[in-house]
Amino acid sequence: MQTNSSDFRKKPNYFMYLSIVLFIACALLTWKVISFKQQINVVTTERDSLSTEKDQLVTKLENLKKQYDQLSKDNAQLTDMFNQEKEHVEKLLAKVKNAQGSVTKYKNQIKSMEGRLKEYEQQIEDLKKQNKDLTAENFHIKTVLDSTSTENKTLATHNQQLTETVNKGSALTTYDINTDGIVVKAKGKEIPTKKSKKAEKLRVCFTIGENAITPAGSKTVYLRIADPSGTILATGSGEEYSFDFQGKKLQYSAKEQVTYNNKAQDLCIYWVKAKDFVPGTYTVDLFADGNVIGTSTFTLEK
């Protein structure tokens, strides 16, 4: 009996071993479950972040489309250009919507598109301001080209055509138009004078304004000066001393060939007297590309 009792005590406690194994297994499973949940949370957070980023880019692109649509409505003559820009936006929008994973690579493209849109808007605002200034000048054109009432009626039509061209934003403009009578001294030094009898020639200086839309290249600027009686100062009356303006031949006083590169450019044109200047108020008009690009007046005294 003593031997049997001793043998029983020496037998392994399988139940205890099994409990330990189960405990370890439960601990491992619990750790895996916790780790898996953490991974799920990380993935969910990243997915939500990517979704938010994607939604933001989509919103920006949708806004760009709407802005180009509005620009096309407000500026019908530039519709084709704005439609091309909108096509680029739509293509990028499709890529963003179909993108899997990060869309960070598209941010720079969208930023560039936004910058280009702002440039267009600024250029349009600048042109509107220039057009507003030119509209005031156009009222004077009716009495500039000729002194007869019949010709003035024709100018009303020309003025309307000019306004339509200006509204398209492609006409050149000038500013700071200054006209002086000139006396030439020793070594060709030019001295301004207001005296009609002293003046040997007239000097008309001005600035051709910056315009990003008009084609660059060679431009012929025509100067047309009318004396106080309305007579055009011209070297001759033949076609070689005239130019075309909206289907009509007009005499010019002088002309200058310039190379225009879409930037502001200073220019002076001269008229050398054929006879003494009469005192009074003179009218100066400048033409280029079939448009009146500037007008002003000046006075010579006795």
Residue 11 pLDDT grade (very low, low, confident, very high; cuts 50, 70, 90): low
What percent of the chain is predicted at pLDDT more than 90? 36
pLDDT at 111 over 50: yes
pLDDT (0 to 100) of residue 138: 62
Mean pLDDT for the chain overall: 80
Specify which of 23-27, 65-69, 126-130, 233-237 reaches the highest per-range mean pLDDT. Answer: 233-237
Contacts of 224 (CB under 8 A, 6+ apart): 144, 232, 250, 251, 252, 253, 284, 285, 286, 287
Contact 42, 81 (CB under 8 A): no
The string of pLDDT tens digits covering residues 59-77 is 877 888 888 788 778 887 7
pLDDT (0 to 100) of residue 260: 95
Residue 198 pLDDT grade (very low, low, confident, very high; cuts 50, 70, 90): very high
pLDDT at 139 over 50: yes
Contacts of 256 (CB under 8 A, 6+ apart): 220, 221, 223, 267, 269
pLDDT (0 to 100) of residue 130: 78
pLDDT at 121 over 50: yes
Distance, in Å, from the CA atom of 150 to the CA atom of 147, rounded to the nearest integer, reads 9
Average pLDDT value for residue range 32-38: 69
pLDDT (0 to 100) of residue 10: 52
Classify each residue of 259-285 as buried b or exposed e, where b means 16 or more C-beta atoms within 10 Å of its C-beta.
ebeeeebebebebeeeeebeeeebbbb
Residue 8 pLDDT grade (very low, low, confident, very high; cuts 50, 70, 90): very low
Average pLDDT value for residue range 193-216: 93
pLDDT at 289 over 50: yes
The string of pLDDT tens digits covering residues 142-168 is 555 555 555 556 656 766 665 565 545
Residue 226 vs residues 142, 231, 235, 281, 282: alpha-carbon distances, Å: 13, 5, 13, 9, 6
Lowest-confidence region among 46-50, 99-103, 104-108, 255-259? 46-50
pLDDT at 271 over 50: yes
**Any idea where the domains of the chain sit in the sequence?**
13-126, 172-300
Average pLDDT value for residue range 124-133: 77
pLDDT (0 to 100) of residue 1: 46
User: What is 172-300's CATH number, 1.10.12.10, 3.40.50.300, 3.40.50.1820, 2.60.40.10?
Assistant: 2.60.40.10
pLDDT at 48 over 50: no
pLDDT (0 to 100) of residue 149: 56
Task: Kindly report the pTM of this predicted structure.
Answer: 0.46
Average pLDDT value for residue range 80-91: 80
pLDDT (0 to 100) of residue 258: 95
248, 241, 253, 246: which is closest to 290 by C-alpha?
A: 246
Average pLDDT value for residue range 5-21: 64
